[in-house]
Structures are given as C-alpha cells and as structure tokens.
Structure 1
C-alpha cells in the first residue's frame, strides 16, 4: 500500500553517503617542498646569526668557486680520465664478418704516430683557451667485439662539436661496409663526404700539420694534430695546401677535394682519432647530410 503524506508533513529523501573529495597529489608535494625550503632558509639565517665569521668564510669560498678562471672543460677532462672505459662496450649493432680476423683489416700504409704532450702543445700561440675542445669521455679501451684493434664504436664526447670540413652528403658512414670497389666487407675508419672536384677543405679545429703524404689507398692526405690527444685526417685530396709543421687556424684551407687513391669519385675521407683510436666522427660533428638529402 502506498503511503499518503499529510500536507504539512515534511518529505525525507532516502539517505545517501557524502561524496569523498579527491586530494590533489601535486598540491601535497608543492606544500612539502615549500615547507622544506622555508626550513632551510630559517636554518641558514640561524647559522648566519650564530656563526657570522664562518658564514662569511663559506660565502667567500663559494664566490671564488663561481668566479674561478679554471676551465670547466679541463675539469671535466681530468675527471673523465679517472673513469677508464666508462663508455666502453657501447656498440651500434655492427658485426664482424665471418672468417675475417681483425689483424687482416689493418692498413699497412697508415702508421699510428706518437702524440705530443697536450700541455706542451697547448702552449702554442694558436692553442688559446677554448680554441680546441677537450675530450670529456671516450671508450678508452681499443678494439672490442666487432671492431678492429685500433677502432671503437664507443661514443666520444667533446666540450664542443665541430663542423664538417666540406659541405656535402655523407656517402659512406663509419663502420662495417661492403667496399664499393673490391665488393668485400671491410671496416671504414671514417666517413666519406661527397663534394665537387677542387672544392676547399677546411680544418675543423686549430692545430699543427703533423703529416702530409700520399697513400696507394687514401691518395693525397693531410693529418692535423689538435692537442688533447685529438687528430683529424683528410684523404683523397686533389692537392694538399697546408705544409708539414705549419700551424693552422680553425676554418683555414688545408687541401682541395679530389679523387686520388682508391676512390669512386671526388670526396673527402675524414677520420677522427683520440689517443690513437679511430672513432665515429658523427658523434661530434654537426650539420652532416645524408646521401639524398
């Protein structure tokens, strides 16, 4: 039977529990962070009042640290030297061809030259502060799985990137490839940048011309020593402009593009060495264009 309500009897709706309010987790975090900052500020003020001399001494040390003339890159370089092999073993999925031995991949025409003392070389008038980037980290161990003994796939990081020695697309990258002429698998120790015959090749960093010469494989080449264990090689040149022993500035003309040696056309074969180890220049080079771009 349905209940009848008197005209003056108030209606009581069915009971329903109150809705729970959702709390904002970000607001809670913000409040905690603000409280922590205020606590640290109060502690700092209390320390300043209790130990004014010690406070001033700490303040002076901090200001001297900020205004220090010591180069940050030199500090990073020295720190990285204490962590040998930090990036070693980082490979790019490259493979060693079956039946090949790394000893057979070494180029008999190219010998690893002894490197000058970076501190002595840095005293040159061209080696001013900040002109040559320092090596922050690199795979310090030679070779590794899938690489010849004096090559590495590990990243190499510098305090400053470099620009290509010549403008053009990269037609052959660093690493294992099928040689375009011999059609055999070999290890490409640098990158090939295609460019017009006779185009200017510029030094990527300031340095000293450590060697110029001619190779049956690499044709006319020039090797620059930049200090900090850094060297760059420019090969297959039509003509070498720089003279051995000459000091070179960044961007200065060192050679012109050619197709000497074992080559399929005019291009620059560019190699990057750190302490005698070949690394992929793409790690530190800006503005590289892929073939077809």
Structure 2
C-alpha cells in the first residue's frame, strides 16, 4: 500500500536505537532455533511465550532453568514474558489469574525480564462489553497490585475481543487502575482488526503517555489478514516516526502471525518470520532508527 508519511532521517549523531526482539515460538518450538533465527535478524533479545511447546506459565523449574541456560549461552536477553494472563473469560474467579500471574512473575525473575504481557479478559456470547467493566477492573487492579509487590511491569495488549481492544477502552483500563506497573503494549494490527481504521490518527496521542512496549505487525482493514509491518493499514510507518520523534528508546518485538493464528497466539516459521523482520528493518532504516 502507499504510505502517506514522508519522514526525515536523523543525522548519524542523533540516530536513535531501539532494542529488537521477537516472539520466539513464532519461529519454532525449540528455543535453540528461536534464538538462532532472531540473532540472524540482528536481535539480542527474545520475547518468551512458550518453549518446547509448553506455555511459559506451565514450565516447571527445571525447564525454566534449562531455558535460562540456553539463552545465557547465546547472550540473549528476555524483553518480556508473553503470558496468557487475562486471555480467559471474565467469569472466572479473580484468584484464577492472580495465581497464574504468580507463575509468570517467577518466570520473569528467573529469565531476567521486568515486563509481562497480559490481557483484559474475554466475555461470553451475548454478554455486552459494558456489562463486564467492573469485573475487568477488579481483576486488573488485583493483577497490578501483585505486579507492584513483585517489581514487574504489566503490559496490556489490545487483543481483539478482550475488554480493552479499542483505544478508548485501553485508556479506560490504564487510567482506572492507575498503576505505574500497568502500561500499554501497542499492536497496530490488533487495532485494525477491531475496526480502528487509522490507529495512529485515532489512538496514538491518546495512549502515548502510557506507551511502554511496541509489538510489530500490520493488518489489512478489508479482511483482517495480518501482514508484515508497512504492508497493511495499521499506519505503522506513521507510528514509528512519531515514536522516533518522541524519543522512544524501548523494545520493538516482532509478532508476525503470518502462517497461523490461534487462541493462544500465532505462528510464522523461520522463513516468514525473517520476512517480517526484514520488512520492519526497512521501515526503521527509512526513518533513521537503529535496531540492536
């Protein structure tokens, strides 16, 4: 598609650096392969959602130790724990996700990450989004309180069909909870898939004060199909340019979803993941941002 933004490049002396990462299990179930592909793309960090086909909140201590060893041997840091917390029906008891977050926090501490991705709960068929607000906020406050006590920061992802899937409801969650330990993980593709026609125009200024983490994928408005960054309608280039100009210096995590999407995430495989990584680097090169 034709991009409307015509960004200027910073000089070499002022060129900002963002830290490239990616969802390892979008590449392969084996963390060794995950790390190798990410390093081939120039990344020295990984976002951990699962390893050996087991979700991060279900890995036992021995498996966490094994994973930590593999990453340490390859000098790979962990940008975030991509947990499934909050990706459940809001009718479940508060304690259900608090207990799972305890396990995600243990994984974060073992792997040396300060960020944990979470969601703001699904609802049953025929249940209005307005009717679950109080229950969502009760649960999000409990999760944020645990994060505060544990010294981690929760990243709310604007996943399709959770309470906070539109910009206004993302802001509602963040402001209503009111914790520095609950911040925004921005995903342009997810906004497109819930009908936000121009995510940068419609949401960036609103959410930028709470922005802490960039997830990288794009999508087509007509079909919802996920595309590499810059190949959809998510105004990714506009968003990246604004982040550069705002002084963003955090993580940019590839989550391509190019060959499969399922309830717990998605898959791309090494080849498609590499294509997504190169597409993103094309955009950051265009605006003069270094990825490291």
Query: Above 0.5 in TM-score?
Result: no
**TM-score between both structures, scaled by the size of structure 2:** 0.22
For normalisation by structure 1, the TM-score amounts to: 0.22
More helix by share: 2
Which of structures 1 and 2 has the larger relative contact order (alpha carbons within 8 angstroms, sep 6+)? 2
Relative to its length, the structure with more strand (as a share) is 1
